[in-house]
């Protein structure tokens, strides 16, 4: 019998694409990486080190929900973006991923399930498994622009489902939740007794203004317990600082109880370091500059991608509203993996749709964050491999 738990038994085999990429790297061949989404690797503006020199940085103050001054800074940031929230309804974690782990502990018994979108960035599988929670996928249909479909939610739910996870806007699909969708979702969650977890790490990255888009569910009067997540990782491009936040909303009694339970849970781990908390207002002050640079970069790369597409191409750029990625719909033959391997041969790294659980077609996912010279240099090989006319 293994001395280790089944929860930690993760497949360690390499897929053919990862193997081919490692071989190419080992041979020192050039690569244009269109899967790079690390904001600290792509020449975007970063704040100076000054905030780390705060006089209180080394004074340890164990506050389970996070230092009040830091939660006030987050409340002001969210309020400035149209979400009036109170610091006492916020809780800090080291990352959004950690917040998911805490929410699974808060909302689920081992063996319970949560509803997660598909396609989606592959984030939830291991977070849920480590908490003994099952995932049930609800499909986002390409025919509906990867928007929320209540019928798909209802079909995915089982008697042990405790919560719905929504990624707003979707990663990598870039669809924002719309007011009508949120209203229907709220009524359904309330009727079914489910909580809502809204992942809004990309919600500051809308490419255009459009009426009826939900930027955040924080500060809304919603009829079910609501947990809204974001953090410095995407908002300010600082994943290494390890600070994220959760806003707890919904009916007052449920909110009160959720926070009362989250506090001892947070006290058990106390993961957020003090230096980043005492200077959080300064880090957040740099967010608009970072976001403006990302939006300029992402818009320019997406425009370049659309411009190189031959008008009779058998592939297309899937419409989207925000985020850091582009999704391409490609022909079913030769398919996602063969296309990615051919791209790799041509020196370009791209992700196949199946990494993100796309079905009902063949897809590629490209990061729009790489520097424009890298991105545009990759477009020639991309067009050659994907081909022109149908
Ligand atoms: C939709 C989404 N949520 C959360 C995360 C994780 O963010 P964090 O760095 O705060 O754990 C990611 C990471 O890319 C993501 O794509």
Is 46 a residue whose pLDDT tops 90?
A: no
Residue 59: the pLDDT is 85
Ligand 1 probe mutation, 100, 117, 121, most atoms within 8 A of CB: 121
**pLDDT tens-place string over residues 18-30:** 999 999 999 999 9
**pLDDT tens-place string over residues 330-349:** 999 999 999 999 999 999 99
Is the distance from CB of 290 to CB of 302 less than 8 angstroms?
no
Q: Where in the chain is the domain with CATH 3.40.640.10?
A: 60-285
Alpha-carbon separation of residue 271 from 127, 129, 147, 216 (angstroms): 17, 21, 35, 25
Is the distance from CB of 227 to CB of 192 less than 8 angstroms?
no
**pLDDT tens-place string over residues 351-364:** 999 999 998 999 99
CATH of 14-43+287-386, one of 3.40.640.10, 3.90.1150.10, 3.90.480.20, 1.20.1260.10: 3.90.1150.10
Atom of ligand 1 nearest to the CA of 167: 1
Residue 195, ligand 1, Cβ within 6 A: no
The larger pLDDT score, comparing residue 359 to residue 226, is at 226
Residue 55: the pLDDT is 83
Distance 171 CA to ligand 1 centre (A): 9
Q: How far apart are CA 189 and CA 239, in angstroms?
A: 32
Number of Cβ atoms within 10 Å of the Cβ of 113: 19
**pLDDT tens-place string over residues 111-151:** 999 999 999 999 999 999 999 999 999 999 888 889 999 99
Number of Cβ atoms within 10 Å of the Cβ of 316: 12
Confidence tier at 49 by pLDDT (50, 70, 90): low
Q: State the residue for tokens 């081909």.
A: 387
Distance 135 CA to ligand 1 centre (A): 17
Distance 31 CA to ligand 1 centre (A): 25
Ligand 1 probe mutation, 98, 101, 103, 123, most atoms within 8 A of CB: 123
Distance 230 CA to ligand 1 centre (A): 8
Chain-centre distance for alpha carbon 262: 22
State the fold for domain 60-285. 3.40.640
**Please, what is the angle between helix 336-345 and helix 372-386, to 10°?**
120
**pLDDT tens-place string over residues 64-86:** 999 999 999 999 999 999 899 99
Chain-centre distance for alpha carbon 357: 15
Distance 233 CA to ligand 1 centre (A): 8
Residue 121, ligand 1, Cβ within 6 A: yes
Is 197 a residue whose pLDDT tops 90?
A: yes
Is 313 a residue whose pLDDT tops 80?
A: yes
CA-nearest residue for atom 7, ligand 1, is 96
Looking at the DSSP bridge assignments, the partners of residue 166 are: 198
Residue 201, ligand 1, Cβ within 6 A: yes
Confidence tier at 390 by pLDDT (50, 70, 90): very low
Residue 239, ligand 1, Cβ within 6 A: yes
Is 181 a residue whose pLDDT tops 80?
A: yes
**pLDDT tens-place string over residues 227-249:** 999 999 999 999 999 999 999 99
Q: How far apart are CA 291 and CA 297, in angstroms?
A: 10
State the chain's mean pLDDT as an integer: 95
Q: Where in the chain is the domain with CATH 3.90.1150.10?
A: 14-43+287-386
Q: How far apart are CA 108 and CA 101, in angstroms?
A: 10
The larger pLDDT score, comparing residue 46 to residue 220, is at 220
């Amino acid at each position: 019998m293994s001395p280790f738990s089944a929860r930690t038994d993760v497949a360690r085999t390499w897929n053919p694409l990862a193997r081919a990429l490692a071989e190419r790297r080992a041979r020192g061949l050039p690569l244009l990486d269109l899967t790079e989404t690390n904001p600290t690797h792509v020449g975007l503006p970063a704040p100076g080190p000054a905030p780390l020199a705060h006089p209180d940085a080394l004074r340890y103050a164990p506050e389970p929900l996070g230092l009040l001054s830091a939660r006030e800074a987050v409340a002001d940031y969210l309020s400035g973006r149209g979400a009036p929230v109170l610091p006492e309804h916020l809780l800090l974690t080291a990352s959004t991923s950690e917040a998911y782990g805490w929410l699974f502990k808060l909302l689920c018994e081992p063996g319970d399930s949560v509803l997660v979108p598909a396609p989606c960035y592959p984030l939830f599988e291991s977070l849920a498994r480590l908490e003994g929670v099952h995932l049930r996928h609800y499909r986002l249909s390409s025919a509906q622009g990867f928007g929320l479909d209540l019928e798909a939610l209802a079909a995915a739910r089982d008697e042990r489902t405790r919560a719905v996870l929504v990624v707003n806007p979707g990663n990598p699909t870039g669809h924002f939740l719309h007011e009508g969708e949120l209203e229907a979702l709220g009524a359904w969650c309330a009727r079914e007794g489910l909580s809502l977890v809204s992942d809004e790490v990309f919600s500051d990255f809308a490419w255009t203004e459009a009426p009826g888009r939900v930027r955040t569910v924080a500060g809304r009067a919603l009829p079910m317990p609501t947990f809204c997540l974001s953090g410095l990782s995407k908002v300010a491009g600082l994943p290494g600082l390890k600070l994220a936040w959760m806003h707890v909303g919904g009916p007052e009694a449920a909110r009160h109880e959720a926070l009362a339970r989250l506090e001892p849970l947070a006290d058990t781990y106390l993961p957020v370091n003090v230096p980043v908390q005492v200077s959080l207002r300064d880090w957040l002050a740099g967010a608009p500059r970072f976001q403006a640079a990302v939006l300029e970069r992402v818009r320019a790369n997406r425009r370049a991608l659309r411009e190189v597409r031959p008008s009779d191409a058998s592939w297309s750029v899937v419409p989207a509203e925000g985020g850091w990625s582009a999704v391409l719909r490609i022909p079913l033959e030769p398919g996602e993996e063969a296309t990615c391997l051919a791209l790799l041969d041509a020196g370009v790294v791209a992700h196949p749709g199946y990494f993100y659980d796309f079905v009902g077609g063949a897809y590629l996912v490209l990061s729009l964050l790489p520097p424009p010279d890298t991105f545009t240099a990759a477009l020639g090989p991309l067009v050659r491999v994907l081909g022109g006319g149908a």
